[in-house]
Amino acid sequence: MIKAVIFDMDGLLIDSEPLWRKAEIEVFAKCGIILSDDDCRKTTGMRVDEVIKHWATIYPKAKLNVNETLNAIMEKVTALVVDKGEAMSGVYRTIEFFKNKNMLLALASASNYNLISTVVNKLNIKQEFATIESAENLQYGKPHPEIFLTTANKLNVRPEECLVFEDSLYGVLAGKAAKMKVVAVPEEANYNKKEFAIADAKITSLELFSSDLYEQLQNEIQ
């Protein structure tokens, strides 16, 4: 039986993936690394330091300073969220759906606590979560399941009793590796990627999460 629901944040609760891409493209360009939107999509869901290390490996001549680049990206994306961030369609409806079922709700993000705080305050949803977790200080980021296992432990539920909502492939992989049920909500550009077939369900928007799908997922666990 599903006892807890864990939400990713970027691209799922808040329409921030375009903001992340804008920030990364601008900051990396200053370091001599020219990226496209599709380049940035390849690292969607990864922790920022891991994104930087990824591009540093591909472009060693850029001699990226991880901490300086990370701080620059986080400063830019945080400012963009404050200025332009909006809730994804269906966020409040989905939260209310699970609240009415007395589910434990949690947020588990690859982003750092500062950005998470900015987002939940911007959307006025901080009070909805029993726990809010970041991969910032964990040994591993997604696709490793550590953040989801940590979140389940904080909620005092078994991983098998958790339902995860994720927009990125790395997040879906992490959720499945944690032995949780996963609903993928990819952005349009990624929706038809065959890799998302590992999710237990796939929808184009949280608006489409239904009672029927909920019952189906519950029955698969029982």
Structure confidence at residue 221 (pLDDT): 72
pTM over 0.85: yes
Structure confidence at residue 222 as a pLDDT band (50, 70, 90): low
Contacts of 111 (CB under 8 A, 6+ apart): 9, 10, 48, 119, 134, 136
Tokens of 60: 């060693």
Cis peptide before 143 (omega within 30 of 0): yes
Sheet holding 131-134, edge to edge: 131-134, 104-109, 4-7, 162-166, 181-184, 201-202
Give catalytic status of residue 8 as yes or no.
Answer: yes
49 catalytic, yes or no? no
The whole-number average pLDDT for the span 115-141 is 96
Banded model confidence at residue 219, pLDDT cuts 50, 70, 90: confident
pLDDT tens-digit readout, 82-102 = 999 999 999 999 999 999 999
Q: Which is catalytic among the residues 8, 15, 49, 167? A: 8
- Give the count of alpha carbons within 13 A of 220, CB side only: 15
Tokens read off for 59: 């472009």
